[in-house]
Amino acid sequence: MKILRLNLIAFGPFTEKVIAFNSNYPGLHIIYGHNEAGKSSALRALQCMLYGFPERISDDFIHPYAKLRIGGTLCLSNGKILEFIRRKARVNALRGADDAEVIDESELLLFLGGVDKSFFETMFGIDHARLVAGGQEIISGGGNIGQILFAGGSGISDFRKIQNELQNEAEALFTPSSRTRRINAGISSFKDKQKAIREAQLPGEAWEQHDAALSEAIRKKRAVEAELGQLQREHSRLERIRDAFPAIGRRKELLTDLEQYADAVLLSDDFGERRRELLTNLRIAENDESQAVRKLEQIRQTLTEADMPLILLEKADIIEDIYKKFGAYQKAAEDRRRIEGLLSSEKAEAKAVLHRLPKSLFRGFPGDFTLEQAEQLRLESAEIVRIQELSSEYDKLKTIKESTQEEIAKRSLRIERVKAQIEEIESHRDTEELRKVMEDARQHGDLEAHYEAECLEIRKAEAAAQIALKKLTLWTGSLETLEKSAVPSAESLDRFESLMKKAENEAEKLRANIEDIEHALTEIDGQTERLRLEREVPTEADLHDARHKREENWQVIRKGVFPVSENLADDYEKKVQHADSLADRLRREADRVAKKAALLANSETHKHRCVRFKEKLGKQETEIAGLADQWNTLWEPVGISPKSPGEMRGWLQRQGSLASQSAVIRERIVRAEQLKNRIEMHRREISRCLCETENISSDDDSLSQLLEKSRRVIARMDQIRVRRDKLSGESEQSEAELREAQARAEKTAQGLAEWRTRWTKAILPLGLEAEASPREANAVADDLKHLAVKLKEAGNHRKRMSGIDRDAKEFTQRVKALTEHAAPELLERPLEQVVSELNARLTRAREARARRQSSQKQEQHEEKQLQDARKRIADIHAGLAAICEEAGCRDYEGLARAEEASSHLKRIRAELEQTERQLRKFAGSATLDEFIQDAQNVDPDDIEQRLKRLAERIAELNQEKSESDQIIGSERTELKKMDGSARAAQLAEEAQGILARLQSDAEQYVRLRLAATVLTQAVEKYREKHQGPILKRSGEIFAHITLGSFEGLRLDPNEKGDGMVLKGIRPGGKNLVDVSGMSDGTADQLYLAVRLASLETHVKKNEPMPFILDDILIKFDDERSVATLEILAQLSEKTQVVFFTHHRHLLELATAHLNKELLFTHSL
């Protein structure tokens, strides 16, 4: 079986996430997800898809329980496919692909091949923790070959732990030499109980004597308790009065003090705080008032003395503007000096240019040529552009002429060479028909490979079917006969299973009822026997029998049949006494008599019920036998003797699977024959075409060989055609390019002649001859252009100097006018000093204005403060008047005395209240006045003596009560000892409980010992069966994973010589390494090698199952990781391998080193 698709519809962090495992091979599928990507959730989802959701799951943090869904598609090796959706539900959890149709779990079980969840996780799954545990198990086991092979084959990595747990649990129950183990201690306890039962016997005398003593002791105890209670109450009353004397005295003092403060006013608790707060606030407000008055006087004095020049403040904008522009004035003066230097430099450069120009330019000017006349030499822009364009055109024409001449020579030579190559090429033949039949053969793929694969699948399916047929118990016929057999339907199985189970359950209930009744009868007999052992309980029948015998004796005496002897009289007297005794005992022991009668009645009832249940059981067993006959008759057409319906359900599933396999095999055989016929047809067509095209005989070649020959022929003909067409095209292209080059050469020569005429006319303004080159003309034109630039820059400099002079004059006049108006005393000073002084005076004037404004604001603020302080003073005086009225004082000077008097009054009342509460506790149920009056009637000097006498008498009575309690306990103990039967019954019941626990512990001990023995035998049998092939393959895998560090594995005798242990073989075969000498990582790799070898063996004999690995390579280096991935890739050719990992580098290693046909990567 392999997984084709895992659809994470709604699970964990996933919604509609699909992982498709589609591939021709089972393949190695690496599922990569970074941390928090949901790798663990995907792994749990795969397990839930196959085996259902657990009761509680942590993957519902996005999707609620009811919405959890996982889809899956599985495929068996016979091609059968199952597509389903798993829901989180208690019933009908498996649905079809539409999530509506209910699928029976048995259909999925057929695909799982009977592998349950536990076996799947151990056999077909491994993670890093189990890998490490397996390596540690190998080391701790000392290389025991049986344990290593069994652990690898079963997937149980903690084998020794299981063995030790079985051993420890068994030894915790029982060891021969121990006395404290549960079974040992239970046996000892059971023996002790049996001994105690034998010792619990009834004495026949002194019961009435002990009973009378008990009654007397109880009477005496009650009299003592009555007197004791009365004395204890009196003692308590006197103690309370004695303890209350100080409080009564203090209450009297407090009442006297209370009279002294009768006129005091009781003030509120916060009165003192309010008084102090008002007085404090009054002092603060008066202080604020005096400070505000003082500050106002200082501010007003400052305002009177302040001086502020208004003329400067009125001209503030003008002064600031002049001060800002004074910097520009100074910079302009510096710029004028710099520009004057630049003007001199420009004139010198212009004169140098004039000296470089041709003398012929100056012929029309009289005298020496000056800079002022140079303006007349300026060229027009159009003239300069014309000269530049003609220069550029000359360069282009010259370049075209040279390149065209070279191209003409090259094209002529190329045309001659191509024509020679065309004459040497082989002739071309038509391959269209060959190409067509070849395409027809290829459109169905690799037919021969399909045919071989189909044949292989047929052989594998037939072999698998035969193996499964041999495993099908009860059947001895052929596969074809089995397919055609008319087996019973699943509904018939369900009906018989239901009927048989119902009949068996009914019979089991009847057996249980019978067993319960027999157990109850045993209990009744036991209780009856216990009553007899205690003392024979008389019944009405016993009384009737005794009276009957007494009457018979009396009749004999009355009739005088025999002489009345002394013995007869004595005998009659004894019978009368016996009958009277029985009657007395019937009255005295009525409870025991009734109990025995009830037991006898219950015994009879249970016996009748037991008979009825046994009759019903017989009928039920007859019905079961009839159902068994009908069940056997149902299977007679099949020709087998059936087992139980439950067992035959599995047999029917395997029979259905074999029937399906048989049908699939027939279909595959038909497809294989069709493939064979198609291959032969294509062989004939291709052979014919090859013979016609190349005259090749190919009757013995396979289809793939013929296709290869055809491909080579077609490729060679295509190369010839392409080569000839290419050369012909090159020849035609070269001839066309030659004609184009010749035409360009003629056109270029004509262009140069026309250019010469235009050039002569263009350079006349430069004073140059017609033969002058473009370079010379451009040099003269550049000089004239440079001369014009310099002349223009000189003019600009003159204009800039004139503007600076004008601005300086205007600025000077503006400063002078301002100074005359605002500070005439500064007119004689330099301009720089005047501007600076005016700005400084303006700054001081503004500061004076700001100080005046600030003083005015402070004046307003202080006036407001003064008003606030005076208002607060008035409010505080009003508050003081209010509390004076509250305290009854004329002014606030007497408030402190009133507050002190109120405080004393509160303290006295509080203490008085507390004292009276204390006295009420002493008073008990009496009122306070009654208790105080009662206390006053008691002499304080005599109270201690009275308490002492009461205490002495109470002690005497307690002693008498204790003695009575001892007598009562002793007598009751004696009476209980005389009730021996109850004690014996209790001991017997305890003994039965111990025996039941012993039985349970003994059964558990046997199970543990048996499990340990079975496990050891299973290990040994597994070793005997698989030691050879698995050990050999494990060694090969181990050598590959360890990169040749070990070349294999070998068995070697252990140190004691009584067994074989596994050892690693170093290269060369000379050195052996014990498993204890291997590193932890190497031991892990040894365990993995055994697991993989065991899995390969399992896959050869059973339906393949996906092998799931969870990040087992996190401790492997890159080289050993690659080697392990290569082994997993080899395994994936036989069974599907799914590898989950968080580590991207493992994905990169696999991609770089593994066969691309076997490797499939998936990302979460």
> Could you report the per-residue pLDDT of 1110-1130, keeping only the tens digit for each?
999 988 999 999 999 999 999
pLDDT tens track for 341-383: 887 777 777 777 777 766 666 665 655 556 666 666 666 667 7
Residue (of 157, 155, 152) closest to 1031 by Cα position = 152
Give how far Cα 252 sits from Cα of 262, 767, 914, 933, 937, Å. 16, 149, 13, 13, 17
- Collapse the DSSP code of 1147 into the 3-class scheme (helix H, G, I; strand E, B; otherwise coil) and give the result: helix
CB 108 within 8 A of CB 94: yes
What is the structure's pLDDT at 1058? Answer: 61
- Express as a percent the part of the chain with pLDDT over 90: 9
CA distance 611 to 602: 14
Q: For the packed helices 1118-1131 and 1080-1101, what is the interaxial angle rounded to 10 degrees?
A: 10
What is the structure's pLDDT at 68? Answer: 92
CB 285 within 8 A of CB 873: yes
What is the structure's pLDDT at 582? Answer: 58
What is the structure's pLDDT at 1040? Answer: 93
* CB burial of residue 963 (10 Å; 0-12, 13-18, 19+): middle
- Collapse the DSSP code of 699 into the 3-class scheme (helix H, G, I; strand E, B; otherwise coil) and give the result: coil
**Sign of torsion over alpha carbons 762, 766, 772, 774:** negative
Domain limits of the chain? Answer: 1-113+1106-1164, 207-265+898-978, 271-305+831-887, 316-377+775-822
Give how far Cα 116 sits from Cα of 124, 1067, 1162, Å. 11, 42, 27
Tokens matching residue 1063: 């050892």
Tokens 């009730």: give the residue.
979
Q: What DSSP designation does 79 have?
A: S
What is the structure's pLDDT at 204? Answer: 41
* CB burial of residue 801 (10 Å; 0-12, 13-18, 19+): middle
Residue (of 591, 469, 458) closest to 537 by Cα position = 591
Give how far Cα 982 sits from Cα of 531, 532, 911, Å. 9, 12, 67
**Sign of torsion over alpha carbons 359, 365, 371, 375:** negative
Give how far Cα 1077 sits from Cα of 141, 142, 630, 1043, Å. 13, 10, 67, 18
Tokens matching residue 167: 């051993």
Give how far Cα 375 sits from Cα of 337, 767, 783, 788, 792, Å. 27, 17, 13, 7, 10
CA distance 865 to 909: 47
* Pairing relationship of beta strands 1060-1065 and 1072-1074 according to DSSP bridges: antiparallel
Helix (H) or strand (E) holding 488: none
What is the structure's pLDDT at 210? Answer: 73
What is the structure's pLDDT at 449? Answer: 84
The two counts, helices (H) then strands (E), for the chain are 30, 13
CB 213 within 8 A of CB 967: yes
CA distance 869 to 864: 9
Topology adopted by domain 1-113+1106-1164: Rossmann fold (3.40.50)
CB 996 within 8 A of CB 193: no
Tokens matching residue 283: 């002092």
Topology adopted by domain 207-265+898-978: Helix Hairpins (1.10.287)
Tally the C-alpha atoms within 13 A of residue 218's C-alpha that lie toward its C-beta.
9
Where the chain has pLDDT below 50, the residues are 143, 155, 157, 201-205, 560-566, 980-981
Q: Rg of the Cα trace of the chain? A: 64
SS (H, E, C) 843-879: HHHHHHHHHHHHHHHHHHHHHHHHHHHHHHHHHHHHH
- Residue 433 has phi, psi (to 5 degrees) of -65, -40
- Identify any residues that bridge with 102 across adjacent strands, giving them in sequence order: 95
CA distance 61 to 11: 9
Alpha helices per DSSP H over 88-204: 105-112, 117-123, 128-140, 145-154, 159-173, 182-199
Tell me how crowded residue 338 is: count the other CB atoms within 10 A of its CB.
9
What is the structure's pLDDT at 201? Answer: 45
